[in-house]
Amino acid sequence: MNTVLEGMMAVMAQPQTVEAKPALSVSGFAGWMESEQRRVFLLCVRMLGNTEDADIAAQDTFLKAWKAIGKGDAEALSDPAKWVTRIAVNTCLDRLRSGRWQFWRRRPSAEDEALVLAFAPAPEPGPEKQALAVEIRERLAEALKKLSDRQRTIFVLRHYEGRSLEEVAAMLGLEEGTVKAHAARALAKLRTELRDLYA
Amino acid sequence: MRNGHWNQDELIAWLYGVGPEDGHLDSCGECRAKAERLQSRMTEARMAEPDVHPAFLARQRRSVLDRIAGGAPSPARWLATAAVAAMLLMAVALQSPSPQPEALTASSADTELFEDVFNTVAWAEPEAVAPLYGLFERSGEVSR
Ligand SMILES: [Zn+2]
């Protein structure tokens, strides 16, 4: 296999160690994908609102990542997590733009979602508090529908991914001021849910 | 000029990077303590994000690797995938009344079913692709 790819994948698979042995490219890629997959998939779920579309988007994301690595995309090396996040965000935004008419048309049933997702118990003790925490989380996820694509992207990257708005701006190729304006509008639309979340 | 403490909405706005720019947090320990509490709640909320079933992720990885290896899935693979989806739906339909989100334990049976069904039905491997997956099997996690 392509030696550039091998080297890149070895670095990506083991970012901490300098003595990374050249892994087989595909297995290196698979290992790296596995380490990022849950996060990327959940990001797509937040962006797209359902697990079916998110599955397709997550797959497309990794396929694009694979192809970009094959072409020697140097950005992959400096911060692979951020790089693949950006690919995922763009993939979701493309999907939203192209499928607007059918978007949100069908939310998979709770049964379908439960096959894929399982909510971790909330950290607070007591079943009532836990149920409330789950309810607020779900309400917030649902409320993301009220946001524009850009507002949702920015909110998701900040809230679920913990990215700073500066990072978000760089990822989206926007001015930080623009990102702040979108973030402020997103917060205004999510005010009720956030008040409850942080009550 | 504003004075007085930040209200809850302002603290939340700060948490999301768009709080008031009056430097109040630098001079007010009370608001700073509240802000830190919100920050840890945000982290908690992030930790409490849903988990994703390993079998689903394994299936997703295989699908990506399949596409890397050979382009579009064959009609046979399509049928097999549809069969898996149908069986999963049946499994859900047969399941008891409340498949609520606390379902990771409840659905470890689903996971096994998914894996069994997936391995038996969907994994009729095109010859050319098989050696590629050998790599993953050896590397450990992918085939679960
Ligand atoms: Zn204060």
- Check B64 against A155: CB less than 8 A apart: no
- The rounded distance, in Å, linking the Cα atoms of A141 and A139 is 5
User: Span B6-27, mean pLDDT?
Assistant: 95
Q: Which residue has the higher pLDDT, A137 or A87?
A: A87
Q: Which residue has the higher pLDDT, A105 or A172?
A: A172
Q: What is the DSSP annotation of A50-109?
A: SHHHHHHHHHHHHHHHHHHHHTT-THHHH-HHHHHHHHHHHHHHHHHHHTGGGTTS-PPP
Phi, psi of B52 (to 5 degrees): -120, 135
- The rounded distance, in Å, linking the Cα atoms of A102 and A105 is 5
- CA atoms within 13 A of residue A70's CA, in its CB half-sphere: 9
Lowest mean pLDDT among A124-133, B25-34, B75-84: B75-84
Kindly give the residue spans of alpha helices, DSSP state H, lying in B48-74: 54-70
User: Span A65-77, mean pLDDT?
Assistant: 83
- Check B52 against A117: CB less than 8 A apart: yes
Lowest mean pLDDT among A6-10, A53-57, B26-30: A6-10
CA of A130 relative to ligand 1 center, distance in Å: 30
Q: How confident is the model at residue A7 (pLDDT cuts 50, 70, 90)?
A: low
Q: Return the structure tokens found at A13.
A: 């698979």
- The rounded distance, in Å, linking the Cα atoms of A111 and B97 is 10
Lowest mean pLDDT among A2-6, A16-20, B55-59: A16-20
- CA atoms within 13 A of residue B48's CA, in its CB half-sphere: 23
pLDDT value, residue A144: 94
Q: Which residues of A touch B68 (CB under 8 A)?
A: 26, 29, 63, 66
- The rounded distance, in Å, linking the Cα atoms of B32 and B10 is 12
**Per-chain residues with Cβ under 5 A from ion ligand 1:** B 5, 28, 30-31
pLDDT value, residue A25: 76
Please provide the average confidence, as pLDDT, over all residues in chain A: 82
User: Which of B7, B47, B65 best probes binding to A when mutated, by most A CB atoms within 10 angstroms?
Assistant: B65
Q: Which residue has the higher pLDDT, B136 or A185?
A: A185
Q: Which residue of B has its CA nearest to A122?
A: B48
Q: How confident is the model at residue A127 (pLDDT cuts 50, 70, 90)?
A: confident
For residue B85, pLDDT beyond 60: no
Q: What is the pTM of this model?
A: 0.70
Q: Is B4 helix (H, G, I), strand (E, B) or coil?
A: coil
Q: What ipTM describes this predicted complex?
A: 0.80
- The rounded distance, in Å, linking the Cα atoms of A148 and B33 is 33
In chain B, the N- to C-terminal Cα span, in Å, equals 61
For residue A88, pLDDT beyond 70: yes
pLDDT value, residue B121: 34
User: Span A60-85, mean pLDDT?
Assistant: 88
- Check A158 against B17: CB less than 8 A apart: yes
Q: How confident is the model at residue B80 (pLDDT cuts 50, 70, 90)?
A: low
- The rounded distance, in Å, linking the Cα atoms of B137 and A55 is 22
- Check B52 against A38: CB less than 8 A apart: yes
In DSSP terms, B51 is beta-bridged to A118
- Check A30 against B63: CB less than 8 A apart: no
- A118 CB near a chain B CB, below 8 Å? yes
Q: How confident is the model at residue A69 (pLDDT cuts 50, 70, 90)?
A: confident
- A111 CB near a chain B CB, below 8 Å? yes
Q: Which residue of B has its CA nearest to A55?
A: B60
A146-to-A47, A104, A140, A142, A152 alpha-carbon distances in Å: 12, 11, 10, 8, 9
pLDDT value, residue B61: 96
Pairing of strands B51-52, A117-118: antiparallel
Q: What CA dihedral angle connects B59, B74, A6 and B131, to 10 degrees?
A: 90
For residue A123, pLDDT beyond 80: no
Residue type, B106: A
A154-to-A144, A180, B8, B69 alpha-carbon distances in Å: 11, 9, 21, 34
- The rounded distance, in Å, linking the Cα atoms of A17 and A23 is 13
Q: How confident is the model at residue B127 (pLDDT cuts 50, 70, 90)?
A: very low
User: Span A145-155, mean pLDDT?
Assistant: 95
pLDDT value, residue A120: 58
User: Span B1-10, mean pLDDT?
Assistant: 83
Q: Which residue has the higher pLDDT, B140 or A68?
A: A68
Indicate the residue of A114, A119, A184 with minimum beta-carbon distance to B18.
A184
For residue B93, count other CB atoms closer than 10 A to its CB. 8
For residue B60, pLDDT beyond 70: yes
- The rounded distance, in Å, linking the Cα atoms of A151 and B121 is 42
pLDDT value, residue B44: 87
Residue ranges of domains in chain A, CATH in brackets: 1-111 (1.10.1740.10), 119-199 (1.10.10.10)
| Domains of chain B, residue spans | 8-47, 110-142
For residue B102, pLDDT beyond 50: no
Indicate the residue of A42, A110, A187 with minimum beta-carbon distance to B99.
A110
pLDDT value, residue B112: 45
- A147 CB near a chain B CB, below 8 Å? no
Please provide the average confidence, as pLDDT, over all residues in chain B: 66
